Structure 1
Amino acid sequence: MELIISGKRLLTGKQLAEIKISHVPGIGEKRARLFHKIGIYNLFDLLYYLPRRYEDRRVKETLNDVEAGEVATVLGTIENIEEVKLRRNLSLLRVAVHGNFGSCTALWFNQPFLKRSLRKGLPISVTGKVERNLYGYEISVADYELGSLKNPVHVGRIVPIYGTTEKLSQRSLRRIMYQCVSSYAKTVKDLLPPELSSELRLIPLSQALTQIHFPADMDSLKMARQRLVFEELFLFETGLSRIQQHIRKEGVARLPKNRLPEDFLASLPFTLTQAQQRVITEIKRDLSSATRMYRLLQGDVGCGKTVVALYALLHTVAAGYQGVLMAPTEVLAEQHFLGISRLVSQLGVRVRFAYRRTHGEKGREQCLEVN
């Protein structure tokens, strides 16, 4: 079965994920198993299988400013082809190339089969490490491309380098990716509102997918990254918002019956940061509402998360309920117990320490309570 997408119909990510990788032209069932090894099972996976890095293989106008051992790319015409047998099971293919850059000798080691595809007068682009000797420049070829550079894939441009697997070469994967991006990137539905993209000056999704795989220049690559990163964060935040709306349930408004939370803040031997004050205000609002609170408190080590969490506990206790602070280890739990005990020792709050070392072993099980 061959994948054919025609007309002006745009496909969502879900629809792209329904198209098996084996249905993409040039892959098939046998090669699809190789793609499965790198986590590509469908067209969506393929389009979003982003390069690990990039190599600048744009053509050099001259080799005069290239240092020995530096990688460079040149474009020229084949002038001569020579195969040299160095020793048993080792051969060298020497190809003389001439172009606007001057002349060089392209070297392939142990690849005699390439001789069948090369011929005198054929345009060729080669990239590799450059060395200079008495006879001129030599390039140990890492990659090449035959013909003109009208639509270059492997050289003559900023080239993507992908993670591969055994029997799936970089050239094969890159060629398939180029065909896929050229054919299907424009069929992907852009989920960002047009007015938002315009306001933030984000490029269209089809352009971002094209430029993230085969960038025209480094600026285009930067804009593609910005577009895809923003989309990922935008969809993540949208998803969280929908989840929050879905799980929003009625709770119990916890209204303090005394000034315990405020007395706690006033007793602190330090001043809260603006961030702590802002988050405490938000938590107070959430706990005082009739809706359950779902909140992740995130911050760097030492920024004061424990004090904020303790305020939430005391707000709950002052409303006549119980509060529990759980820690992943007994050592950390004991540290919290000692620290919190010092902070609330003058507020009439008795802190209890509870732990259980192993399943089935009886431990001390107590609770946080007010005197």
Structure 2
Amino acid sequence: MLFNEIGDVKGIGPQRKKVFNKLGIQTVYDMLYYFPRNYEDRTIIKKISDISDGEKICIKATACTALKARYIRRGMSYQKVSVTDGSGIVFITWFNQNWLVKSFNKSAEYIYYGKVYSRNGRLEMSSPLIVKDNKIEPIYSLTSGITQNLFRQTMANCIDYAKNMPEIFSDSLREHYKLCGIYYALKNIHFPENFEKFKFARTRLAFEELFLLQLGLRLTKQHRQSQNATPLGETQTISSFIKTLPFPLTQAQKRVIDEILSDIKKPRVMNRLVQGDVGSGKTVVAAIAMLAAVKSGAQCAMMAPTEIIANQHYQSKTSSLSNMAVNIALLTGSLSAKQKQKVYDDIKSGSTDIVIGTHALIQKGVVFNNLCLVVTDEQHRFGVKQRYDLTQKGNAPHHLIMTATPIPRTLSFVL
């Protein structure tokens, strides 16, 4: 039942189903996990004499005058009434609510919910809600074609399905972390009886989300480590190259280089993040990693976010590796069709050892002979699919990410 289509829920016909689908809600399960963005607390009723200007509250009052409707022009009307709770008076205005004139009972006591403004020495409410019972109401992010009331009613119809939702946590684990059950959590995240129960429900659902995220990252890492990568173990050339550098490596650079070379020697995929400020020497580390791969008989790809940065990398690598017998190519969108085809052919034949480029690297025409190392510069500027498409060009290639500003998505990739 949890994975029944949302159209199977009472009150949801074909047209309304399309609106729910537009929100990303396909099933009852999707509906239950579509959480409110905010809440309106209608549990507190204030005396009119205690209201502050601009406050959104509930008042319980009876009418001082009869509700009257007046027409501004054809199709435009307003309805006015003044109400009191004995401590003060509020003047209320609605617009185009002519049905209120017939249903409004002057002698009855109503609960009004809305924002109160002080104008010209008197308190006013514009288009307040008349609520039957004062409670905490959820507010959802919606789209055109659906109202809060309709969405709440549909959610209420779906809550019963949560009774059949399997519990993913054992009783002992929930007891240890003081977590409520899943039915209690879903019921009180959507329709909390009070804010204490809401906090209890939110804690459970936040724990569940982080738990599943961590579990997903763990499974992804296990899958990655189970892939057989090509060991890249040539280090003699690296020592010679480092001696030719016009500057000494820092201790941090030496440590990171040792860790990378140790990783790529292993027959499992490396996923390593190199974080450092601009000018801290990340590109030298990447150059050494790529040189080690090339001298082990592999190809490397380095993807940069812009053509300017790709050109900078190309020029610096061409210069620094000029005496290492390494063939480097540049592949960007600005190349002519003839130039691109030449680069494609050299990559496919294996005569190009390192190719540096932009998103052009992930085009269908790019076929590597033996891609074993992928270097991504400023990874956060690329989408997940773009990064995936590049790694798919090789057979489980090692991956080195360089960034000065890591974001959660980047960090999660290497956890």
Q: Is TM (by shorter chain) over 0.5?
A: yes
Aligned counterparts of 1:56 and 1:312: Cα–Cα separation in 2: 58
1:210 equivalent to 2:196? Answer: no
When normalised by structure 1's length, the TM-score is 0.71
Q: Residues 168 and 282 (structure 1 numbering): CA distance in 2 closer, same or farther, change over 3 Å?
A: same
Shift of residue 49, structure 1, vs aligned partner: 2.0
Q: Residues 301 and 71 (structure 1 numbering): CA distance in 2 closer, same or farther, change over 3 Å?
A: farther
Equivalent residue, structure 2, for 1:4: none
Alignment of 1:143-154 (within 5 A): 143-146=129-132, 148-149=133-134, 152=135
Q: 1:354 aligns with which of 326, 329, 334?
A: 329
Equivalent residue, structure 2, for 1:61: 46
Q: 1:26 aligns with which of 7, 11, 14?
A: 11
SS at match of 1:108: strand
The residue type equivalent to 1:50 in the other structure is F
The count of aligned residue pairs is: 340
Q: Residues 136 and 324 (structure 1 numbering): CA distance in 2 closer, same or farther, change over 3 Å?
A: closer
Aligned counterparts of 1:117 and 1:308: Cα–Cα separation in 2: 77
Q: Residues 113 and 196 (structure 1 numbering): CA distance in 2 closer, same or farther, change over 3 Å?
A: same
Aligned counterparts of 1:320 and 1:342: Cα–Cα separation in 2: 21
Shift of residue 354, structure 1, vs aligned partner: 0.8
1:174 equivalent to 2:162? Answer: no
Q: Residues 201 and 284 (structure 1 numbering): CA distance in 2 closer, same or farther, change over 3 Å?
A: farther
Q: Residues 114 and 278 (structure 1 numbering): CA distance in 2 closer, same or farther, change over 3 Å?
A: farther
Q: Residues 62 and 239 (structure 1 numbering): CA distance in 2 closer, same or farther, change over 3 Å?
A: same
1:162 equivalent to 2:140? Answer: yes
Shift of residue 335, structure 1, vs aligned partner: 1.0
Equivalent residue, structure 2, for 1:190: 167
Answer yes or no: is the 8 Å Cα contact 2:9–2:157 preserved in 1: no
Segment of structure 1 superposing worse, 88-97 or 104-113: 88-97
Aligned counterparts of 2:193 and 2:179: Cα–Cα separation in 1: 17
Equivalent residue, structure 2, for 1:43: 28
Shift of residue 336, structure 1, vs aligned partner: 1.1
Alignment of 1:145-294 (within 5 A): 145-146=131-132, 148-149=133-134, 152=135, 157=136, 159-181=137-159, 183-192=160-169, 201-215=178-192, 224-225=201-202, 227-246=204-223, 248-258=226-236, 260=238, 264=242, 269=248, 271=250, 273=252, 283-291=260-268, 293=269
Shift of residue 48, structure 1, vs aligned partner: 1.8
Aligned counterparts of 1:110 and 1:50: Cα–Cα separation in 2: 32
1:129 equivalent to 2:115? Answer: yes
Q: Residues 99 and 254 (structure 1 numbering): CA distance in 2 closer, same or farther, change over 3 Å?
A: same
When normalised by structure 2's length, the TM-score is 0.65
SS at match of 1:349: coil
SS at match of 2:264: helix
Answer yes or no: is the 8 Å Cα contact 2:238–2:288 preserved in 1: no
Aligned counterparts of 1:50 and 1:140: Cα–Cα separation in 2: 28
Answer yes or no: is the 8 Å Cα contact 2:49–2:88 preserved in 1: no
Equivalent residue, structure 2, for 1:8: none
Equivalent residue, structure 2, for 1:119: 105
Answer yes or no: is the 8 Å Cα contact 1:68–1:132 preserved in 2: yes
Aligned counterparts of 2:244 and 2:187: Cα–Cα separation in 1: 58
Shift of residue 43, structure 1, vs aligned partner: 0.6
1:325 equivalent to 2:332? Answer: no
Equivalent residue, structure 2, for 1:91: 77
Q: 1:367 aligns with which of 339, 352, 356?
A: 352
Aligned counterparts of 2:243 and 2:99: Cα–Cα separation in 1: 79
Answer yes or no: is the 8 Å Cα contact 1:106–1:140 preserved in 2: yes
SS at match of 1:339: helix
1:297 equivalent to 2:273? Answer: yes
Answer yes or no: is the 8 Å Cα contact 1:258–1:318 preserved in 2: no
1:72 equivalent to 2:57? Answer: yes
Shift of residue 219, structure 1, vs aligned partner: 6.7
Shift of residue 145, structure 1, vs aligned partner: 1.0
Aligned counterparts of 1:203 and 1:277: Cα–Cα separation in 2: 50
Aligned counterparts of 2:240 and 2:128: Cα–Cα separation in 1: 69
Q: Residues 305 and 65 (structure 1 numbering): CA distance in 2 closer, same or farther, change over 3 Å?
A: farther
Shift of residue 22, structure 1, vs aligned partner: 1.9
Shift of residue 230, structure 1, vs aligned partner: 4.4
Deviations 1:95-148 (A, max 9, x none): 4544486553433221011344443555532222313468953322343312x4
Aligned counterparts of 2:55 and 2:90: Cα–Cα separation in 1: 15
Answer yes or no: is the 8 Å Cα contact 1:297–1:305 preserved in 2: no
RMSD: 4.0
Q: Residues 108 and 257 (structure 1 numbering): CA distance in 2 closer, same or farther, change over 3 Å?
A: closer
The residue type equivalent to 2:47 in the other structure is T
The residue type equivalent to 2:264 in the other structure is L
